[in-house]
Amino acid sequence: MDKFVIAGGTALEGEVATSGSKNAALPALAAALLTDKPVILRRIPKVRDIRTMQRLLVDIGTQVEVADETVQLRTERIVCPEAPYELVKTMRASSLVLGPLVARCGRARVSLPGGCAIGARPINLHIFGLEQLGARIHQEHGYIEAQAPDGLRGATVHFDRITVTGTEDLMMAAVLAKGETVLLNAAREPEVGDLAELLIQMGARIEGAGTSTIRIQGVDRLEGADHRIIPDRIEAGTFLIAGAITNGELAVTGCNPDHLGALVAKLQQAGVEVRQPDATTLRVRSGVPLRSVDMTTEEFPGFATDLQAQYMALMTQAEGIAIVVETIFENRFMHAQELARMGANIRLEGKQAIVAGPRLLTGAGVIASDLRASASLVLAALVAKGETVIDRVYHIDRGYERIEAKLAGVGANIRRVE
């Protein structure tokens, strides 16, 4: 397995570009199953999860053509409506093909998803919603099997808790259902809105995406589309924190500042200067000692759980005590132990982590336990004294496109060891 070797102590300076959003690209790829016409997706990031989803679509029957950041897909016929465990065991997003397959061909067999070990992401919310739309679903041998031979029908679905992939899955299923579907307590994340824009371009009738109530009027068929994926707000946020933690001056280009409001507010409270020189750029500079600031993860527009680990790394360098509360996933503090190996002072109490700083971090051998935890270890290593070796970086490859090359381009001493 590949490793990162990082020598800390260098302030990051210059410009780093944001890739397309992995979390928006995955449902967009799944949406191509809803039509037999070509779907062109632009600004697709070159990350492991995307490659896994593309392989899955090929198995299902999609023709996939990749040219740089553009992917063209056409599913003239569903050959095999199945997502096998062997292919999707490393990717949570496999459940996103469930709704499109049931809507398009009336049946699906999808392995219960794998991916990061950060806690439960209940697939039961997907199942409940599809059952409301008329699908018959049962689970056996680690697979969800769904059938709707007479097609889906519109219904009102109230999610017990906000779920991004559940909202996306049900939205894709509902666009081909008979009648009106109303999704209540729907996720408001930008990725949901991006998927809705693609589906509308394909001929779907959707209102309210970006709010907690989404209305979908079913149509008989969908057409093709040519769609550009939104910027990756988590990657952009990670780079903003990288500039702040190294006391650098870093411009993150090609991002959407409207998607990063909660993070920017916390950075400014901590003493980081954040400016927006143009519509798609944020520039950070940290010339004063950092101040500790409490943070609680929330659904959008709150502070993203996918930036919690990175923020915790930043707080190890701040003056005072910061309380970081994780409300989305119950097992997302596994990076705390690895940060402690580098010298961080972190105490865990249930859903909260108490971070005391500033602490002198020193290089050590650490292990990445999940995608965002691995990013926090990279950030800590950038400011640590000496050399840090991060093992299992395949986790970070699932969601960040060439992160070592991007960071090296702005001054980081980082290299990949194969």
Kind plus residue range of the DSSP H or E element containing 181: strand 180-184
- Residue whose tokens read 């779920």: 163
pLDDT band at 113; cut points 50, 70, 90? low
Per CATH, the architecture of 3-19+231-417 is what?
Alpha-beta prism (3.65)
What does the domain layout of the chain look like in residue ranges? Answer: 3-19+231-417, 22-228
- Residue whose tokens read 């061909």: 105
- 3-class secondary-structure state, position 396: helix
d(CA 383, CA 264): 21
d(CA 57, CA 71): 12
pLDDT of residue 91: 74
Within 13 A of 238's CA, how many CA atoms are on the CB side?
A: 31
Can you read off the two tokens belonging to residue 150?
A: 């007479």
Write down the CATH superfamily of domain 22-228.
Enolpyruvate transferase domain (3.65.10.10)
Percent over 70 (pLDDT), the chain:
97
pLDDT of residue 118: 36
74 forms bridges with which residues in the sheet?
63
**If you average pLDDT over residues 293-300, what whole number do you get?**
97
Least confident of 112-121, 171-180, 192-201, 303-312: 112-121
pLDDT of residue 334: 86
pLDDT band at 141; cut points 50, 70, 90? confident
Query: How far are the Cα atoms of 72, 127, 142, 155, 165 from residue 133, in angstroms, in the given order?
Result: 30, 10, 23, 6, 17
Q: Using one digit for the tens of pLDDT, what is the confidence trace for 17-54?
A: 999 999 999 999 999 999 999 999 999 999 999 999 99
DSSP assignment string, 90-114? T-GGGGGGHHHHHHHHSEEEEEPP-
d(CA 252, CA 264): 12
- Residue count of the chain, please give it: 418
d(CA 151, CA 179): 11
**If you average pLDDT over residues 156-182, what whole number do you get?**
96
Of the residues 80, 105, 116, 255, only one is catalytic, namely 116
Among 64, 19, 57, 23, smallest CA distance to 40 is for 64
Is there a contact between 238 and 379 (Cβ–Cβ < 8 Å)? yes
Q: Do 22-228 and 3-19+231-417 have the same topology in CATH?
A: yes
pTM flag (> 0.85): yes
pLDDT exceeds 90 at position 377? yes
pLDDT band at 331; cut points 50, 70, 90? low
Mean pLDDT of the chain: 94
pLDDT of residue 371: 78
pLDDT exceeds 70 at position 119? no
Among 229, 40, 83, smallest CA distance to 169 is for 83
pLDDT of residue 126: 86
**If you average pLDDT over residues 274-278, what whole number do you get?**
98
Is there a contact between 203 and 219 (Cβ–Cβ < 8 Å)? yes
Going through 68-165 in order, the beta strands assigned E by DSSP cover 70-74, 82-83, 107-111, 136-140, 143-147, 156-158
pLDDT of residue 114: 53
Q: Is 116 a catalytic residue?
A: yes
